[in-house]
């Protein structure tokens, strides 16, 4: 599931919807979401992209407290079950 | 002593019933108006629950009408309010104003028109008049031959509160003797659901159990349940109401709105709570009513089942009431009515007026476990009997840019 998250970030970076340098940075499970340089709209863009790719709904109540890309990947995996 | 206006007419059109008597019966009984969405196919993976106004009785809503659904709802609610007030317009039409609050206006017509334009179909010329946000007030003017001041306010979910606040200002300033004022929202459209789903504002976890989807302050709440409806009131100067022998349900004692100013943008992963603007609006409304927080007998909460804003509201109430927080009964009609945008504040005022009249606070339904961040004396389960002097009604607009509040009080002659 981590690949789904990082692939989404790289594609959004290439389209200019999140900082372009994310396409060239190492993105790992331990990478903090807060260090990606995303503003609030970019975060919503990322969530929308992930929902499309994983065919899941990530509700508002699930998101507070997610710190890293790994946390995000696990949250998606949980709702995909 | 602050000047109050008399509330003499109540016209709710809602998912739990229309007309003051049926609306009140359903609220006190704790009946849910949220059901599976029937109007159109819900968005894939999105919210499939809505508080739809049931048809046909007692309203003659016509899907084939050239009028928007909002206009039809507004006309029905306005007629109920005027009938309830037994207000004769003859002889003083220039002294009766009309104010409509609406968030999305005539979105159904706009969406249909855009679809027609995209298909190359000619749109009807009357759409130019029917699609603008002020169409509802124009139709009220025509229907009831109104000739006084009119206004349309669009301030998101606060619109109904701000419209009622403006009506109070008009009465205090002597611009009108009576004002037909309320909110209307016909937001159950594919476009609206797409927008609000993208903004992650809607509940998605209760599609299989729709009557339990709107759960303000509950630990398992998960977002707003959209609703539709209209609610109008007749608000008059007390002198005018008494001179014509009108029944005064309650009084409108105070109003305020406050903006949030510059603040950190919303972060879904790390939401930051800023209760201060809400608290300022609530305190300013009490100031406008010239009463201290100690005199508030109950709070009609914004309580929209939003994961974020319910907690913000609870924190704002804590800062307003301090140690007394646990002694102030709070309820949310949105637990039964969903989030009906601009209509909700007007329905809150109607419910507050009826609460004061009946000395009864309707329950908040679907609260199985109170969110620990919301340590309120929430009226749950059954309606609670209590003598009420003032009810403080809170309204939060989508996006958290600004906040409004109204104070409803007992008839001063009682």
Inter-chain CB proximity B199 and A44 less than 8 Å: yes
The shortest C-alpha distance from B222 to chain A (Å) reads 6
* φ/ψ (deg, to 5) at A37: 75, 25
Reply yes or no on whether the pLDDT at B56 is more than 60.
no
Per-residue pLDDT tens digits for B358-386: 999 999 999 999 999 999 999 998 999 99
Nearest-neighbour CA in chain A from B26: distance (Å): 29
- What pLDDT does residue A61 have? 82
Q: How far apart are CA B34 and CA B338, in angstroms?
A: 7
Q: Look up the CATH number of domain B5-243.
A: 3.40.47.10
Q: What is the DSSP string of chain A?
A: -HHHHHHHHHHHHHTTSS-GGGGGS---TT-BGGGS---HHHHHHHHHHHHHHHT----GGG-TT--BHHHHHHHHHHHH-
Higher pLDDT, residue B167 or B127: B167
- Averaged pLDDT for residues B305-332: 96
Residue labelled with tokens 């930051």? B272
Q: Do B268 and A39 touch (CB under 8 A)?
A: no
pLDDT tens string B33-51: 999 999 999 988 899 999 9
| Residue B331 CB coordination number (10 Å) | 31
Identify the weakest region by mean pLDDT among B253-267, B288-302, B366-380: B253-267
**Four-way CATH pick for B254-409: 3.40.50.970, 3.40.47.10, 3.30.2350.10, 3.40.50.300:** 3.40.47.10
In the predicted model, is pLDDT for residue B62 greater than 90? no
pLDDT single digits (tens) B320-370: 999 999 999 999 999 999 999 999 999 999 999 999 999 999 999 999 999
Within B67-119, residue ranges assigned H as helices are 69-85, 107-118
Q: What is the topology classification, in CATH, of domain A2-80?
A: 1.10.1200
* pLDDT at residue number B57: 47
Contact by Cβ (8 Å): B138, B217: no
Q: Degrees (nearest 5) of the Cα angle A38, A41, A45?
A: 90
| Percent share of chain B, pLDDT over 70 | 98
- Closest A-chain CA to B194: A48
Q: What pTM was estimated for this model as a whole? A: 0.94
User: What is the pLDDT at residue B58?
Assistant: 54
Q: Which residues in chain A have Cβ-Cβ distances shorter than 8 Å to B221? A: 61
Residue B13: phi, psi to the nearest 5?
A: -125, 105
Taking the CA of residue A34 and the nearest CA in chain B, the distance in Å comes to 9
Summary mean pLDDT of chain B = 94
pLDDT digits (tens, 9 = 90+) for A8-64: 999 999 999 999 999 999 999 999 999 999 998 899 889 999 999 999 988 878 898
Residues 6 or more apart in contact with residue B182 via CB below 8 angstroms: B11, B74, B77, B78, B81, B99, B100, B101, B160, B163, B164, B230, B231, B232, B233, B343, B346
User: Which of the residues B200, B273, B305 would you substitute to probe the A interface, choosing the one with the greatest number of A C-beta atoms within 10 Å?
Assistant: B200
Percent of chain B with pLDDT over 90: 84
Task: Give which of B264, B213, B219, B194 is closest to B41, Cα–Cα.
Answer: B194
- Outline where DSSP puts E strands in B316-369: 329-331, 360-361
Complex confidence, ipTM: 0.88
pLDDT average, residue stretch B245-256: 98
Residues 99-128 of B with CB under 8 A from A: none
Domain ranges in chain A are 2-80
Q: Is the pLDDT of residue B303 over 90?
A: yes
Mean pLDDT of B386-406: 93
B43 CB near a chain A CB, below 8 Å? no
Work out the average pLDDT over B189-197: 93
Instruction: Name the β-bridge partners of B237.
Output: B5
Q: What separation in angstroms does the CA of B147 have from each of B95, B98, B176?
A: 8, 9, 11
pLDDT band at B55 (very low <50, low <70, confident <90, very high): low
Looking at the partner chain, which of A47, A51, A55 has a beta carbon nearest the beta carbon of B268?
A47
What residue spans define the domains of chain B? 5-243, 254-409
């Amino acid at each position: 599931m981590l690949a789904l998250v990082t692939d989404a970030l790289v594609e959004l970076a290439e389209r200019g919807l999140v900082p372009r340098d994310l396409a060239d940075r190492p993105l790992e499970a331990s990478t903090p979401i807060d260090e990606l340089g995303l503003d609030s709209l970019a975060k919503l863009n990322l969530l929308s992209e992930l929902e499309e790719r994983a065919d899941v709904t990530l509700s508002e109540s699930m998101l507070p407290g997610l710190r890293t890309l790994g946390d995000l990947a696990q949250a998606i995996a949980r709702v995909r079950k | 002593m602050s000047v109050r206006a008399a509330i003499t007419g109540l016209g709710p059109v809602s998912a739990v019933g229309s007309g003051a008597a049926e609306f009140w019966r359903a609220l006190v009984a704790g009946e849910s108006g949220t059901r599976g969405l029937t109007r159109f196919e819900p968005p894939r993976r999105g919210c499939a629950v809505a508080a739809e106004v049931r048809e046909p009785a007692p309203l003659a809503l016509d899907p084939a009408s050239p009028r928007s659904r909002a206009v039809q709802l507004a006309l029905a609610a306005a007629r109920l309010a005027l009938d309830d007030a037994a207000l004769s317009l003859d002889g003083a039409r220039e002294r009766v104003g009309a104010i409509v609050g609406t968030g999305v206006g005539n979105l159904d017509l706009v969406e249909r028109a855009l679809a027609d334009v995209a298909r190359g179909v000619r749109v009807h010329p009357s759409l130019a008049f029917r699609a603008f946000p002020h169409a509802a007030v124009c139709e009220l003017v025509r229907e009831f031959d109104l000739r006084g001041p009119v206004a349309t306010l669009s301030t998101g979910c606060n619109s109904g509160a701000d419209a009622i606040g403006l009506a109070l200002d008009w009465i205090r300033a002597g611009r009108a003797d009576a004002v037909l004022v309320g909110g209307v929202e016909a937001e159950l459209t594919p476009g609206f659901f797409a927008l609000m789903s993208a903004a992650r504002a809607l509940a998605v976890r209760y599609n299989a159990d729709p009557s339990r989807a709107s759960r303000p302050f509950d630990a398992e709440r998960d977002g707003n349940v959209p609703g539709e409806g209209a609610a109008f009131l007749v608000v008059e100067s007390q002198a005018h109401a008494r001179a014509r022998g009108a029944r005064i349900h309650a009084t409108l004692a105070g109003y305020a709105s406050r903006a949030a100013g510059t603040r950190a943008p919303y972060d879904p992963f790390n939401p930051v709570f800023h209760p201060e603007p809400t608290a300022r609006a609530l305190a300013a409304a009490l100031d406008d009513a010239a009463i201290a927080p100690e005199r508030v007998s109950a709070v009609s909460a914004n309580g929209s089942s939003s994961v974020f804003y319910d907690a913000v509201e609870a924190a704002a109430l804590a800062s307003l009431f301090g140690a007394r927080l646990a002694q102030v009964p709070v309820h949310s009609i949105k637990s039964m009515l969903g989030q009906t945008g601009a209509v909700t504040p007007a329905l809150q005022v109607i419910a507050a007026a009826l609460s004061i009249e009946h000395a009864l606070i309707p329950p908040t339904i679907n609260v199985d476990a109170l969110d620990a961040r919301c340590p309120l004396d929430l009226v749950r389960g059954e309606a609670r009997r209590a003598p009420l002097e003032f009810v403080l009604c809170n309204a939060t607009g989508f996006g958290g840019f600004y906040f409004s509040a109204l104070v409803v009080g007992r008839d001063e002659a009682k």
